[in-house]
Structure 1
Amino acid sequence: MIEASDFRDAMASLTTAVNVITTQGVSGSHGFTASAVCSVTDTPPTLLVCMNQTSRSHEHFIENKVLSVNVLSAHHEPISNTFASKLCSEERFKQGAWTQLVTGSPILEDALVSFDCEIEEIQRVGTHSVFICRVVAIQQSEHEESLVYFKRGYHQIGQVELA
């Protein structure tokens, strides 16, 4: 039997993009920082997002039935920390400049890339919900450096301009 702590320690070696997942709808605006995001298929464009069921915004995502995945650029570490904090939703969205695409979910204007999605299916697995999301719009920026999480810390990868 693999202990949960051993699994978490091993997963810390998996380098992942840092994302802020947002929603807007009848249940209001909410968001959280996540690394558990990945592509499912390109036909139709679909991705998945994993969210802890004990998260205070979990039910809001289910009620709104939409979300946006905002992939953070290297300079967004403060926004990642804000959306991972215990601040209320209103305080979280005071950081950064936000817009909307199709679903109305908040899109970080200068995110590396944002995927605007409709939640098509929800699977409960252990402590988490897996949201299967149909991508309905994409917005990309000109940034070339990404914020990633590895060994429980932030790192930056990508093209660095030399002076």
Structure 2
Amino acid sequence: MTTAPEILQAGIDAMADRAATRDTDAERSMARAVATYNALTGSHLTEVDGWQFMVCLKMARSRGGGHNPDDYIDGAAYAALAGEAAHSASLGPYAVLAREYERREQARDTVVPAEVNRRLNALEAVAHKPVPVIEANELEARLNSIEAAIGAARRGRAGES
């Protein structure tokens, strides 16, 4: 890889590979990582801060030892993820909910257990009517419970095969 477009494409491919490895449409674990870090340390980092930290880490690594294309591939991907998170943050507190809702709505086509549908409908009610701002930990808890239900449904289906 020697050109910027090749490095960017490799970053896109790496993100797709990581998502496939985790059996999701898009691997987006930074919000959970930052929430965990904040809970442990009392810090107030954002998802954008987390992705920007990873860009800095990759750039720092690129200064040590020989050339490793991975430093630039991952750095480009992390920069893109930081941009995505910054855009979502600029849309307000429901942006993350809306993005997750959309992803879960797509999952409804392949995973249809009643519990998942019930949780998706509850999210829809929250996402589509004006309610007070949801605290980040409450939003995270709701999304985690949906994630757990989808995972349980997939594991159940895998056990039927």
On whether the aligned pair clears a TM of 0.5, the verdict is no
- Taking structure 1 as the reference length, the TM-score comes to 0.34
TM-score by length of 2: 0.34
* Structure with higher RCO (Cα < 8 A, 6+ apart): 1
Which structure carries more helix by proportion?
2
Pick the structure with more strand per residue.
1
* Larger Rg over CA atoms: 2
